[in-house]
Amino acid sequence: MPALTENDCAPYIGRFAPSPTGPLHFGSLVAAVGSYLRARDQSGTWLLRMEDLDPPREQPGAAEAILRTLEAHGLGWDGEVMYQSARHGRYREVLEGLLRSGLAYRCDCSRKQQAERSAPPGIYDGHCRTRHVGEHGQHAVRLLAEGDIHFDDPVQGPQSQNLQREVGDFVLRRADGLYAYQLAVVVDDGDQGVTEVVRGSDLLDSSARQIHLQRLLDLPRPGYIHLPLALNRQGQKLSKQNLATAVDDRRPLPSLIEALRFLGQAPPPELAEATLDEFWRWAIAHWRLESVPRGSRIAG
Ligand code: GLU
Ligand code: ZN
């Protein structure tokens, strides 16, 4: 028998991390189903984190509606839901540590100043790195971002990004005082012990930033799997912004079967008549990550 490596023994911890900007639509159901099946297939834990970090973008009641929809679809999470809105103290502590160690710095450049200076659009040029912007005026906090990041995504293939050239020093806390997604997601995945992140490929481009920040914080690096995105007929990602219709809590099976097909699995026609329990038993027993297609497609 081959010797077990440390990694073979590490318990699998996955998660689903919706933002409560509206009800769950088919695109987010695909991400939930994919990450749930992967976790169950690995006999792992599946955590739920509510990413309620940006109140102006949130919709009252959406967080509760998302939880109800997951339950109605038989997507049972393990343990308590983590709410990012309750974790500002933790984000502040990490951010202050990064500032103290000189890995992050304050930046008071306006959008207009940046646009006038930046050569490639949207990539911050590091102007405030050595300016020692004081803590009293309005300012963002940015992370020093340099180096090449490589990782292997089992669905999307090998990935690499040069942080300096393709991203620039990115924001950890915005000038309006809100913590950035990139900071919260890394701190939370670290604190929750997440071993693998399974999510939509709209976030593929964020993974290198997250791996870089994990390194600076001395956190272990989880695996990354990015699932294909469901697009509307105009070729846009289904989202709350383009008013994707919510999935129907009263008829979970048709959406679940469609989500399985979207993920390249082959549910038999009889599954349409199954109970939720039978559906999940079949889906877990037949899950094949190798069948998940890479490319985003029009749903329905
Ligand atoms: N909250 C993010 C979203 O709803 C997902 C974050 C993640 O999975 O890393 O798009
Ligand atoms: Zn600046």
pTM: 0.94
Query: Candidates 13, 15, 19: which one to mutate for ligand 1, based on the most atoms within 8 Å of Cβ?
Result: 19
What distances in angstroms separate CA 227 from CA 230, 290, 300, one per listed residue? 9, 12, 17
Residues with CB under 6 A from ligand 1: 17-19, 51, 185, 199, 203
Nearest ligand 1 atom, CA 189: 9
H runs (alpha helix) in the chain: 6-9, 26-41, 62-72, 88-100, 111-117, 163-166, 181-191, 207-216, 252-262, 276-286
**β-bridge mates for residue 246, sequence order:** 25
Do residues 11 and 195 lie in contact, with contact meaning Cβ atoms separated by under 8 Å?
yes
Tell me the ligand closest to 20's alpha carbon: 1
**227 phi/psi in degrees, rounded to 5:** -85, 155
pLDDT reported for residue 240 = 64
Ligand 1, atom 6, residue with closest C-alpha? 17
**92 phi/psi in degrees, rounded to 5:** -60, -45
CA 186 / ligand 1 centre spacing (Å): 11
pLDDT at 7 over 60: no
Do residues 231 and 298 lie in contact, with contact meaning Cβ atoms separated by under 8 Å?
yes
pLDDT at 104 over 50: yes
CA 175 / ligand 1 centre spacing (Å): 22
pLDDT at 274 over 80: yes
User: Mean pLDDT over residues 19-31, rounded?
Assistant: 95
Tell me the ligand closest to 118's alpha carbon: 2
Nearest ligand 1 atom, CA 21: 4
Let me know if 193 is exposed, middle or buried by CB neighbors in 10 A (0-12, 13-18, 19+): middle
CA 8 / ligand 1 centre spacing (Å): 27
CA 19 / ligand 1 centre spacing (Å): 6
Q: How many CB atoms lie within 10 A of CB 147?
A: 12
Binned at pLDDT 50, 70 and 90, residue 241 comes out as: low
Tell me the ligand closest to 209's alpha carbon: 1
Binned at pLDDT 50, 70 and 90, residue 116 comes out as: confident
Nearest ligand 1 atom, CA 199: 8
User: Mean pLDDT over residues 161-178, rounded?
Assistant: 96
Tell me the ligand closest to 24's alpha carbon: 1
Top pLDDT among 26 and 243 is at 26
**Residue range 31-46, pLDDT digits in tens:** 999 999 999 999 999 9
Q: Cα(281)–Cα(104) distance, rounded to whole angstroms? A: 47
CA 128 / ligand 2 centre spacing (Å): 4
